Structure 1
Amino acid sequence: MNHQYLFQLENTEWMSNNVRDRAIKKVHAIDQKIGYPTSNPNVLDPEALRKYYDAVVISNTTFFENKVQVAHFETRQAWNKLGKPTRRDEWDMTVRTVDAYYNPAGNEIVFPAGIMQAPVFYDPSVY
Structure 2
Amino acid sequence: MAINHYQVLGLENFAQAAEIKKAYRLYAAKFHPDKHQNDPFFEERFKEIQLAYETLSNVAQKTAFDKSLQSQNFTAQWQDIQRREAELRRREQVWLQKEKQHRWQAEEKHRLRIVQFIFFGLAFGMLTYLALFYFFKH
Same fold (TM over 0.5): no
The structure having more radius of gyration, on CA atoms, is 2
More strand by share: 1
Shorter chain as denominator, the TM-score bin is under 0.3
